[in-house]
Structures are given as structure tokens and as C-alpha cells.
A and B are shown apart, each in its own frame.
Chain A
Amino acid sequence: MAVVSARPPGSRPRRRGRWTPYALIAPSVIAMLGFLVYPMGSVIYYSLQHYNVTKPWDNGFAGLENFARLLFDDPIFWQSLGFSLKWVVVQVVLQFLLGLALALIVNESFVGRAISRALVFSPWAVSGVLTTAIWVLLYNPFTGISRYLADLGLMDYGAAPLANPGTVFWAAVVAELWRGVPFFAILLLADLQSVSKDLYEAAAVDGAGRTRRFFHITLPHLRDAIILSTLLRSVWEFNNVDLLYTLTGGGPAHQTTTLPLYVAALAAQSHDFGYATALTTVAFLILTFFSIAYLRLSKFGVKA
């Protein structure tokens, strides 16, 4: 923070200046309190209630009954939690590795770099629903790539990756990778561009090869960006419902239901808000503890 050595003329510094920052942040604070903090509080409140708009006669204080039901009495909770975990790990690891590779490639100088960057980054701006629309066309046995490959005699007709329990997971993973990799590529490229060229040249003079320079200069430089982007992406992938909701609907047989997807379905279909908010509370606790642990264990912001 720079020391203020000049002041706008006519302003009585102490009196007026003191309230200006509060006035400036007031809209943000009100928005956050009203539409994030208060709702979060009400989630916790409802989670201790029986609350179902279609069964008002049952409503009332529930204590920890909702939580007991979720822990001991709801196999779909455990299944969806397990799938959420698998989904997040697979997505974040693959998106990160491919995104890093892509960032390193488009950070080199070559003919056609600007247009290549624009093209490979473009799925970043595509919505989950649109991704589904596109990949439904690609995966459909009648309209998809597989039909044309079958026409050429390269594979059998009738491959339907989304309907087949053995392939639906990877079909969804590939579709999400398509639009997820650019996020990492963009963030990591931004950070790559701030690596000092002198460092590379000094290392090259000292005889360090490409691999050594990558592991001793590039990766350490990217460290905080990697920690933050993987964390943000984990939370985002955990919460992201658009793609799975429209692509698989969580099926077949809850096989691709994440925890938020389960909550959304509960709220929309059974109107069991009390139980759904208990699930929400648990999901929020999991995310909070995960985030704190991740930042602590990865020593974010601590210089290596």
C-alpha cells in the first residue's frame, strides 16, 4: 500500500476519507451477506428440520435425524459421494496434465501460434449444456462418428457409449475434458509468460537440458498457480452439474450421479428440502475441509 502523499483538494482527509472505502465495498458486502452468507445459514437451519413443501403436516424440528438418515440409511448418498470423488480426481488430473502440455506447446514460438491459441482455448467458453448437445451428436449410434467409421468398415455398427454402463463414465469424462482442458491451459500459459527468460538462458549456458530446465525452473515457478488452479477446479468440478445432468441425467442407475446432482434431483423432484439441505451441509463441510487441507499440505504461498 503506497503512502498517500497527496490528497484530492477540498476533501477533509480524516473525516471523509475514512468512510469512503466502506461505501465502496458496501454493495459487495450486502450482496455477499444477503445471497451467500444468509442462504448458507438457512441451509444449516433447514438441515435440522423436517421440511417438505408437499408434506407440510410432517414439518418441524428434526435434530440430527436428516444427518443420521444420510449416514446410515441412504446408499445413494455414499454412492454419489464416491462417484463425485472419482469424477473430480479423474477430471482434475487429466485436465491438468493435458492443459500443462498444451500451455507448454503454445508458449513456444511457431508459425500460426496466435490462431492455434484461439482455437484450442475456444471450448473454455462453451456451456455444459452445449457440450452435451455436441457430444450427444458425436456419441449417438445413428449420427455419431462411430456410424461413419462403421461405414468405412473400421468398427461395428451400434456403438452407443452413453447407453452402455461399461463406457458411460469415460464418455462423460472425454466430453468434460474437451471443455475443461482450456481452463488449465489459459491459466498456466499466463503464468508461464512471467518466467524470466534470463533464467532459462543461464541454465542453458550451464548445460541444463530441456527436461532439467522444466523440472528446476518451469515447475517451481508454476507451483502456486498449479496449486490454486487445481484447487479451484476441484471445487468447480465437484459442484458442476450442467454436463452430467443433461448428458447422462446421473444414470444409468445413479451410476454417474454426483452429490450436487443428487441434491438438485431431490429438491426438484421430491421437494424434500430438509433432507436435501442436510446433504448440502455435508457437501459444504467436505469442500471446506478439503480446501483448507489442500492449501495447508501443499504449502501454498510458502516460498520453496
Chain B
Amino acid sequence: MSGRRSRVSRWQIYVPLALYLLFTLVPFYWMLVFAFRPAGSTAVFPWPVTFEHFATVWNGMGFAVFFRNSLMVGVASLITTTVVALAGGYALARYAFRGKGAFMVGMLCTQFIPGALMIIPLFEIFRTLGLTNSLWSLVVAETVFQLPLSLILISGFIRNIPYELEQAAWVDGCSRLRGFLAIVLPLLRPALVAVGSFAFIHSWNNFLFALMFINDQEKFTVPVGLAYNLGENSVDFGALAAGGVVAALPVVVVFAFIQRYLVQGMSAGAVKG
């Protein structure tokens, strides 16, 4: 190990890394500067700190409502995606059944169906179901598009848990369901955190479905509200940045929480199929 490290000198790591960090962080920093400095200021530091822009977007522009809507859709999508994917993933990992191959292929193929191009037929379906202008349309659409990858990821994780553990529980008198709840579920925690967070982040970030399926401003989500700020003729840059910070906050919190699992999660399931 030490022989290998000596061959990569420090600056070969730190110089490109520093450059890339600059590219990553300056845009975030720029948003923070505009969000926290007073209107009309040209300082490159957010000083003196003001919360006037947050008051504007939160109360005046309706971000309090958008935030609540996005949160509800995000949490509902997280729950439905995780539960449905868990059931399907378990079936794939633990049973041999007729049609399993077709099911797998079908799941993979849906990855290529473009969400943006499904707007029109989905709109028609939601109209038939009476779900247009309802936040449930977003939960359904979000779950459907998140499901294939989540299911494949979870089944990969379950396959990594030795089947013998479950079988031992059966020998001890557990039912299959109890064995699953007592043995598999606790071991799946990292997978569930990863899949649930993906679902939440995707839902939180989704713009097009919310733009197309929701008309009522009371039901807008955060990205739609943000896009409206962008569309104003005379953009209030302080408010735009503050809206951006509001949009970023939950995702940043979730990301900070899961980023340790992110790489593990990917190596366990996604790429290996």
C-alpha cells in the first residue's frame, strides 16, 4: 500500500481535486451570497446577513405552501416506492417462478421509456381517474418511474443476505413473514435508506410532472414555484436565490445523511443488476 501511495504524489491529487471543488462549490456559494445579502448590495460575502429574501419567498411567494406540498409528495412517494419495491425485490431474490425472466426484462426495458414523452398519455389517464390537479397524480407517476431501479437495487441487496439465515429462522418455528421481518428487514436498512432517499430526492426535484399535471397554485411544488420566479420579467435575484436555498435544503440534509451509503448501495445492486 505504501509503495503504491508513494507513486501518486500529493499534488497529483490535491491540485485537480481543488480545481474541481472550486467548480462544484462556487455556484453554491454564489447562491448563498445572493440569498443572505441585502437587496442592492454588491458584496461578494453574504454580509450583513439578512433574512428579508426568505421572508419574501416563504410568505409572499407561497413557498411555505409549495414546501409542504413537495414534502407530502416526497414522503408518500418514498413509502409507496419502497414498499412495492421491497415486495417485488423479495420475490425476485428468493423465488424461482415462471415468468421471472420476462418480469426482469420488462423492468429493465421501462428504464428506456422517457418520462418527458409520457406526459400526454399519463395526463389522459389521470383525467380519467379524476387525479389531474391532485398531488396524488405526482405520487403515482413518481412511484412508477422510480420503481424499476428501486426494485432491482433491493433484490440485489436481498440476494447478498444469506438465505440460510432465513431458513434457520423457519426451523426455529418462524413463519416466512416473521422470518423476513426479524432477519431480512434489519439487514436491509442501508438498502432501504438508499432506495427511500433516491425516491424522495427524485420526487422533490421533479419538475415536469408537477408543471404538467397541476394547475392550481395552491398545489404547486417547489420546483414549479422556483421556475415561476425565473420566469418573472424583472427577476428579483435575492428572492430567486432564497427560493433556491429553500429548494436545496431538504435534499442537502438527506444527501448528507445517505452519501456514505450511496457508493455502497450502487456497488451492491445497480450496476451488477
A interface residues, Cβ below 8 angstroms from B = 1-2, 4-11, 17-18, 20-22, 24-25, 27-29, 31-32, 34-36, 38-40, 42-43, 46, 98, 101-102, 105-106, 108-110, 116-130, 132-138, 140, 143, 145, 148, 178, 186-187, 189-191, 193-194, 197, 200-201, 204, 210, 224-225, 228-229, 232, 235, 238-242, 245-246, 260-261, 263-264, 267-268, 273, 276-277, 280, 283-284, 287-288, 291
Q: Are B175 and A38 in contact (CB under 8 A)?
A: no
Q: Are A11 and B271 in contact (CB under 8 A)?
A: no
Q: Are B147 and A31 in contact (CB under 8 A)?
A: yes
Q: Are B252 and A122 in contact (CB under 8 A)?
A: yes
Residues on B with beta carbons closer than 8 Å to the beta carbon of A108:
5, 8, 13
Q: Are B87 and A28 in contact (CB under 8 A)?
A: yes
Stretch at the interface among B46-54, B90-98, B184-192: B90-98
Q: Are A241 and B116 in contact (CB under 8 A)?
A: yes
Residues on A with beta carbons closer than 8 Å to the beta carbon of B115:
239
A interface, over-half SS = helix
Q: Are A190 and B266 in contact (CB under 8 A)?
A: yes
Q: Are A43 and B117 in contact (CB under 8 A)?
A: yes
B interface residues, Cβ below 8 angstroms from A = 1, 3-5, 7-8, 10, 13-14, 16-17, 20-21, 23-28, 30-31, 34, 44, 84-85, 87-88, 90-92, 95-97, 100, 103, 106-107, 110-122, 124-125, 140-141, 143-144, 147-148, 151, 163-164, 167-168, 170-171, 173-176, 179, 201, 204-208, 212, 223, 226-227, 229-230, 235, 237, 240-241, 243-244, 247-248, 251-252, 254-256, 259, 262-267, 270-271
Interface pairs (30), CB distance under 8 Å: A8-B179, A22-B97, A25-B92, A28-B107, A32-B106, A32-B110, A38-B121, A116-B21, A120-B20, A122-B259, A127-B251, A128-B223, A133-B244, A134-B28, A134-B30, A136-B230, A137-B30, A186-B262, A190-B264, A193-B267, A200-B4, A229-B271, A232-B111, A239-B115, A239-B117, A241-B116, A241-B208, A246-B227, A277-B121, A291-B112
